[in-house]
Amino acid sequence: MPTSETPARPAPSGILLVDKPGGVTSHDVVARARRALGTRKIGHAGTLDPMATGLLILGVGPATRLLTFIVGLDKTYEATIRLGVSTDSDDADGVETARADATALGAIAPAAIDAGIAALRGETSQVPSTVSAIKVGGRRAYDLARAGEEVELRARTVTVSRFEVTGRRADAEAIDLDVVVDCSSGTYIRALARDLGAALGVGGHLTALRRTRIGPFEVADALHEITPDAVLLDAASVAAAVLGAFPVSAEEARDLRHGKRLAGAAARLDAGTAAIDPEGRLVGIVERRGADVKSAMNMAEDAS
């Protein structure tokens, strides 16, 4: 007796832009995506704290290999800094550790705030927040801190290209600053709040944080809900947006996939390193080897 079978749905592969809500972890969002898309091979490019909202980039299936090229991109955040109150996590999820009196707050002139912010722009040395995901001796700093252990994190060089105040509110207990920050990957906005408050002598912490951009990707294009029919960005378009396109012929694509070098092709790398074949598929990410070009990372032909 003949039977009809529904064709198996191809395994999903691509990049998904998600607008993470507050109150959930980045891992929670990944878990939701795994359930909705029916695959466990999903990762993300850059954690957002539970308090934070905004752009979270997920890699699905073979396209998770592109996350390593996305995680280091510069980012934009919108945040609210509260001056006058310090917490042990440098954000509103922590326990209050100090509070400035009204006299000290009232003595802070707007010009002093502007000068403090200006000092935090450019390339600076920043000590990450103690309650962070950085590993110390194989353990997360926030786990050590919550266990009552002493945590010392090394300063790291970060670049803050934009740090602007878009709104100010003040009362006897605190000064709230709405800010926009453009920064390099690895910059802690919580640490900017902490350091600004320390420079002004009144302490500070973050009360709101929203990531609005990662490299060329904007939160305005992100999904609020992940459904089984969610449209994924294809690997080729994402790689080209991040790394620039390196068009190759069908023969060159075949050679790259087979591990061969493209002799004398290095001069063409100025435009980008994402090798795209004539059918618009991502062959892989290439690199210069002398005058030649070779593949540094290949995508499976049926997943690109």
Catalytic residues, which ones? 49
What residue has token string 């070779």? 294
Asked if 244 contacts 217 with a C-beta cutoff of 8 angstroms, the reply is no
In the numeric block, which tokens belong to residue 151? 């945590």
Cα separation, 70 vs 74, in Å, equals 9
With a CB cutoff of 8 Å and minimum separation 6, the contacts of 42 are 30, 33, 34, 58, 59, 60, 61, 64
In the numeric block, which tokens belong to residue 164? 């602007």
Cα separation, 149 vs 164, in Å, equals 35
Q: What share of the chain is helix, strand, coil (3-state, %, to 5)?
A: 30, 35, 40
Cα separation, 100 vs 89, in Å, equals 17
Backbone angles phi, psi at 218, to 5 degrees: -115, 145
Asked if 24 contacts 50 with a C-beta cutoff of 8 angstroms, the reply is yes
13-32 burial, b at 16+ Cβ within 10 Å, e below that, comes to bbbbbbbbeeeeebeebbeb
Distance of CA 268 to the CA centre of its chain: 30
Helices and strands, number each (H, E), in the chain = 8, 17
Distance of CA 149 to the CA centre of its chain: 28
